[in-house]
Structure 1
């Protein structure tokens, strides 16, 4: 029988702990969010983050970029926020306007304010498995929190991560590697036969490529743990990158879409924000 990895329930627990930590701080926690107001998904997501942050006692400073935004102008904005002692965390909401080099923007964020862990400094610490505290991109860190909550073993397990973005796939690969899993990093351009062969031996599958039903139950090893990071809309309905119906009965654990990784991403971002405020 397939067990549901209930991200909404685990996010609720995480948020309760975050709110308690905020209440114990003797200073305000403020998260600055830079986003492209022309992107419908970004506007929706920023609104959801702001609403949840307010419920936990975190102030958000939502900053839309203007229509003529350039890499240089956004970096200048980031540098101003880095210097603002009232801002305890910074999030650069991807995607930004066409032509803006996001990797340069991510790395312009001061490490001690990098709430989403996307800068080169903190990602280097992740890949180096550094002993110091550092933030990790919210989506993959949220996945790890979910796996730990359900006591899913990663040590010596075979894992496949499908998706190679800086926001998800690459840090997900590093986190699972640091947890002593043997990890293969694949993506939408991995040859089909190669990917199917990898999936058939994978104990853990984490997929985020933005293609509806990219993975079916027939592709999976029996008993695999399946984490679906995808969020797609088909005929007005939210669906993941995994065909949920066919995967049930094959997977031992699976995340639903919605209600799986999405709530964990927001909860982890706000958890990161409070961690930075506590430390700095």
Structure 2
């Protein structure tokens, strides 16, 4: 029987802990969010994060960029926020407007304010499995928290990450590697027969490519743990990258869409923000 990994319930617990930690801070905890207001998805996500932050006592400063913004102008904005002592953490909400070089923006964020762990410095620390304090991208870190909550073993397991983005796939690969799993990084362009062979041997599958029903139950190994990071809309309904009905009965554990990874991402971002506040006191 397939067990559903309830990200919503786990996120609730994390949020309660974060709220208690925020209350202990001597100065306000503030998250600055840079985003493109013309992107409907970004508008939605920024609103969700701001509302949840307010419930936890975290202030937000949502900063829309103009349609004529350049990479240089956004970097200047980031540098001003880096120097602003009232700002605890900075989030750059992807995607930004066309033509802006996002990786340069991510890396302009000071490591001690990098709430979403996307800068080159903190990602280098992640890939180096550094013993120092550093933040990790909220989605993959949320996945790791969810796996730990359900006591799903990773050491020595075969894991396949499908998706290679800087926001998800690459840090997910590093986190699983640091947890002693044997990890393969695949993506939407991986040759289909190769991908199917990898999936059939995978104890852990984490997928985020933004293609509805990209993976079918028949592709999976019996007893696998399946983490669906995808969020698509099909016929007005939220749909993941995994065909959920076909995976039930094959996977031992699976995340639903919605209610799986999504709530964990927001909870982890806000958890990261208060962690930065504690470290920077």
TM-score above 0.5, yes or no: yes
**Structure 1 moving runs of 4+ over 3 Å:** none
Q: Which runs of 5+ in 2 are unaligned?
A: none
1:122 aligns with 2:115: no
1:135 aligns with 2:125: no
Name the counterpart of 2:160.
160
Name the counterpart of 1:246.
246
Tell me the SS of whatever aligns to 1:267: helix
Q: Distance in 1 between matches of 2:73 and 2:159?
A: 40
Q: Deviations over 1:111-162 (max 9, x none)?
A: 0000000000000000000001100000000000000000000000000000
TM-score, normalising length: structure 1:
1.00
1:63-82 to 2 correspondences below 5 Å: 63-82=63-82
Tell me the SS of whatever aligns to 1:79: helix
Q: Distance in 2 between matches of 1:95 and 1:66?
A: 13
Question: 1:17 Cα deviation (Å)?
Answer: 0.3
Tell me the SS of whatever aligns to 1:238: strand
Name the counterpart of 1:151.
151
Question: 1:254 Cα deviation (Å)?
Answer: 0.1
Name the counterpart of 1:107.
107
Question: 1:164 Cα deviation (Å)?
Answer: 0.1
1:35 aligns with 2:35: yes
Q: Distance in 1 between matches of 2:248 and 2:233?
A: 20
Q: Deviations over 1:11-68 (max 9, x none)?
A: 0000000000001111100000000000000000000000000000000000000110
Q: Distance in 2 between matches of 1:138 and 1:45?
A: 13
Q: Distance in 2 between matches of 1:69 and 1:86?
A: 24
Tell me the SS of whatever aligns to 2:183: strand
RMSD: 0.3
Q: Which runs of 5+ in 1 are unaligned?
A: none
Tell me the SS of whatever aligns to 1:13: helix
1:232 aligns with 2:232: yes
Count matched residues: 280
Q: Distance in 2 between matches of 1:10 and 1:134?
A: 22
Q: Distance in 2 between matches of 1:248 and 1:14?
A: 27
Q: Distance in 1 between matches of 2:133 and 2:159?
A: 25
Q: Deviations over 1:215-253 (max 9, x none)?
A: 000000000000000000001000000000000000000
Question: 1:214 Cα deviation (Å)?
Answer: 0.2
Tell me the SS of whatever aligns to 1:51: helix
Q: Deviations over 1:200-225 (max 9, x none)?
A: 00000000000000000000000000
